[in-house]
Amino acid sequence: MDKVKFGIIGIGNRGSGHCRLILAENSPEMELAAVCDIDPARIQWAKENLPDTVKIFTEAEDLIASPDVNAVIIAVPHYDHPKYVISCMKHGKHVICEKPAGVYTKQVVEANEETKKHPELVFAMMFNQRTNHLYRAMHEMAASGKYGQIKRVNWIITDWYRTQAYYNSGGWRATWAGEGGGVLMNQSPHQLDLLQWICGLPVKVRAFCHEGKWHDIEVDDDVTAYMEFANGATGVFVTSTGSAPGTNRFELEFEKAKVVCENDELSVYELEENERDFCFACPQGFAKPAGHYVKVETDGQNLQHIGVIRNFVAAVLHGEPLIASGRDGIYGLELANAMFLSSWLDKTVTVPVDREVYWEELQKRIATSKVKENVQAITGDNSDPFAN
């Protein structure tokens, strides 16, 4: 194979953005070969905006089976992600799956098991925030152990503000049956992935997921969660689509440093000795370990979606390692499922949660879910890496 011939399933706001990126890349190693959507308006968009060489399908399985396609980007509503991953694997197609990997881990486990049967195929997640140089630097700090163990994690990510018009833009949007959740399932999968990628998964979660607190919706739009990690570290994760202007502050407290990512800047305060050693060796009751701020050198790159696509092509054609393996998608979802289940059962849960219990609780909510009427479609801004 000398070229990755992409087929994109779902050409709404995100999928159409991927179309533009691949066409703009104009690389001899990648081509937009086909698209698919069930919405006649999106099909018309494709006819008017894509080159005549791009084949247009109305059935996903027809695109997947097409000999003109050797790789697929899945950009459809969340419940169908695992189904199409499995189908692509069975048809011998490489896959990039949009976030989240699915709605509940039980279905994602099934998809991951199928991918293990096809080691010759590349399976990636569109975790574009892993390309951000700030988060890459935090990942390297944690993985290297240079600052000792993580003691505390705090992430407040409330700059997801959404109006009621946003939620009214799709009948499936912000419903248990259509989307499987709200801010945790739609806006926050990137942060949940980054949190576990940098800090590891917690072992216990106690969460409070407020449903329809700030909007006329049936799913969560305000979440506060407390987490405990295996090494004794604790953490708090707060997210909402009802805060304006909102905040995005990710703070890690290590034994030898405090690291803060906020306003597109990384602040690192290094201690001159390990706080755990200082605590028990210092004879003064009110003394604090000395320290100083240090400048963090990064490559400054933040390629986002095109970075993941380029990396995927390099993995398919040249065997380069992935930024985010498709099977990594289950970890952030484990955390989201734990937060939901804790809130639903009103108690602390262990991670991973019982997958059957979660599925049963989700079915109760799906049974009472209602597809919205008077839908008023809006066009998203594909320049926003978080526009979903």
* List of residues 6+ apart from 96 with CB closer than 8 A: 71, 72, 73, 74, 124, 125, 126, 308, 309, 312, 326
> What's the DSSP call for residue 245?
S
* Structural domain boundaries in the chain: 4-129+303-327, 133-296+332-367
Confidence of residue 388 (pLDDT cuts 50, 70, 90): low
pLDDT > 90? residue 364: yes
Q: Does domain 4-129+303-327 have CATH number 3.40.50.720?
A: yes
Average the pLDDT over 9-14 and give the result: 95
Q: What is the pLDDT of residues 109-157, one digit of tens each?
A: 999 999 999 999 999 999 999 999 999 999 999 999 999 999 999 999 9
Average the pLDDT over 183-204 and give the result: 98
User: Residue 143 — φ and ψ, nearest 5°?
Assistant: -70, -30
Q: What is the CATH number of domain 133-296+332-367?
A: 3.30.360.10
Mean pLDDT (the chain) is: 95
Q: Which residues of 37-58 are buried (b: 16+ CB within 10 A; e: fewer)?
A: beeeebbebbeeebeeebbbbe
Q: Is 370 helix (H, G, I), strand (E, B) or coil?
A: coil
pLDDT > 50? residue 171: yes
- pTM of the predicted model as reported, rounded to 2 decimal places: 0.96
Residue entry with tokens 């195929």: 121
Q: Cα–Cα distance between 253 and 269 in angstroms, integer?
A: 10
Q: Of 56-60, 194-198, 383-387, give the lowest mean pLDDT range.
A: 383-387
Write the DSSP string, 38-103.
S-HHHHHHHHHHS-TTSEEESSHHHHHH-TT-SEEEE-S-GGGHHHHHHHHHHTT-EEEEPSSS-S
Question: Looking at residue 170, what is its pLDDT?
Answer: 82
pLDDT > 80? residue 290: yes
Question: Looking at residue 377, what is its pLDDT?
Answer: 63
